[in-house]
Chain A
Amino acid sequence: MSYRQPTAATGVGVFYGYRSTAVTISTDNTKLPMTDASTGNTISSGSIDFGSSRKFFACGEVRADSIGDYQLGDIKIVANDGEVAEGYQVRNNATGTVCMDDACYGTSSQSTVSLFTGEILGSEAITAEANELRVTGVFVS
């Protein structure tokens, strides 16, 4: 795990991408496709597409709406040149011994940003489902 710092800069503003319909989380390191993006940006193959490289800070979150959908695993932010931040544990199960924040954060200087699954506890993978995806961020210098 490393913490990559951004290296290029343009613009001022906030961006977001989201998905409001359920998506199954079943395999490690798989894109969780978003469907909508903030004005000025587009969704390209499930990723937020800025149209050009931008230096950004982003936060990714998922929401599950029933116990059966909860998983024990993590999510991560991925730009078009690869992973920019390993995610955080999305959900602590009822008897878990490990606990952490439930969002992931990343910075990069690329033209797209996506939300991916990270490592999922195997026994949880067959039932996990995200009912909502959110990536919010800000362009930085």
Chain B
Amino acid sequence: MSYVPSLLSSTNIRADIIKAGTPTSAAVNGRFSLSGTINGAASIVSDRLRLTAGSSYHLEGSILVQQTAKNGAITWQWYDNTNSTYIGSEGYMNLATSFGSVARVSRRVACALVLDSDISTSMDVELRIKSLTGSAWNLTITASGISTFNYVGYPSARILEIPT
């Protein structure tokens, strides 16, 4: 385990919050559809984020799921589609039993730090389902959240851009 030192910047970082909506498929390798307006250097191309050289990026992805069967778990992670590799730390949720008795509990968000030096010209990343077990998953995001629930919030992806 190592800890990457903080990046020094003499300019403000840029922040964007976009929607991490219904995935292209409710299965492994499905990618959550990213949409919204970005003020920073990144852009959205085919549901993916295109990160351009000249900045480093801290990415977070929060998703919203429903599983009426309560018999499975999901992991999701940022995936570097340019270099075909997962990056950063995965998010994890287990709905098989109560959160008080599951073997693993962690922050329910996927995070990644993409350094400017990692980017040649640009890098396309996506928020991808890495594993999915169990049945009866609903990953369709509605106007209010998911299904008919209006008290469960709304999923998003966050981009913190640190200009080099």
Residues in A lying within 8 Å of B, measured CB to CB: 1, 3, 5-6, 9, 11-12, 57, 72-74, 85-89, 92, 94-102, 104-107, 118-121, 138-141
B153-A88 in contact (CB<8A) = yes
Q: How far is the CA of A141 from the CA of B70 in the complex (A)?
A: 43
B151-A74 in contact (CB<8A) = yes
Nearest Cβ on chain B to A75's Cβ, whole angstroms: 8
Residues of chain A contacted by B14 (CB below 8 angstroms): 140-141
Known: A99-B65, A138-B13, A141-B11. A89 touches B99 (CB 8 A): no
A3-B108 in contact (CB<8A) = no
Known: A6-B15, A141-B12. A100 touches B100 (CB 8 A): no
Task: Give per-residue flags for B133-164: 1 if the beta carbon is below 8 A from chain A beta carbons, else 0.
Answer: 00000000001111101111111101010000
Q: How far is the CA of A138 from the CA of B158 in the complex (A)?
A: 13
Nearest Cβ on chain A to B51's Cβ, whole angstroms: 17
Residues in B lying within 8 Å of A, measured CB to CB: 11-19, 36-39, 62-68, 70, 93, 95, 98-100, 107-109, 143-147, 149-156, 158, 160
Please list 13 pairs of residues, one from A and one from B, whose beta carbons are closer than 8 Å in the complex, sorted by A's number: A5-B16, A5-B17, A86-B153, A87-B153, A88-B154, A94-B99, A97-B70, A99-B67, A99-B93, A99-B108, A100-B64, A101-B107, A105-B17
Residues of chain B contacted by A98 (CB below 8 angstroms): 64-66, 146-147, 149, 152
A73-B70 in contact (CB<8A) = no
Residues of chain A contacted by B100 (CB below 8 angstroms): 94
A88-B151 in contact (CB<8A) = no
B95-A99 in contact (CB<8A) = yes
A1-B143 in contact (CB<8A) = yes
A1-B13 in contact (CB<8A) = no
Residues of chain A contacted by B67 (CB below 8 angstroms): 97, 99
B17-A140 in contact (CB<8A) = no
A6-B39 in contact (CB<8A) = yes
Q: How far is the CA of A25 from the CA of B70 in the complex (A)?
A: 28
Q: How far is the CA of A138 from the CA of B15 in the complex (A)?
A: 9
State the 10 A-B residue pairs at the shortest beta-carbon distance, nearest first: A141-B12, A57-B15, A101-B62, A88-B153, A94-B98, A119-B151, A74-B153, A140-B15, A99-B93, A89-B152
A3-B151 in contact (CB<8A) = no
Known: A3-B18, A86-B153. A140 touches B12 (CB 8 A): yes
Nearest Cβ on chain B to A59's Cβ, whole angstroms: 9
Tell me which of B39, B153, B160 contacts A104 (CB under 8 A): B153
Tell me which of B63, B147, B154 contacts A86 (CB under 8 A): B154
Tell me which of A5, A92, A97, A118 contacts B37 (CB under 8 A): A5
A3-B150 in contact (CB<8A) = no
Nearest Cβ on chain B to A55's Cβ, whole angstroms: 8
Known: A9-B12, A57-B15, A73-B151. A101 touches B36 (CB 8 A): no
Give A86's nearest chain B residue, CB to CB.
B154
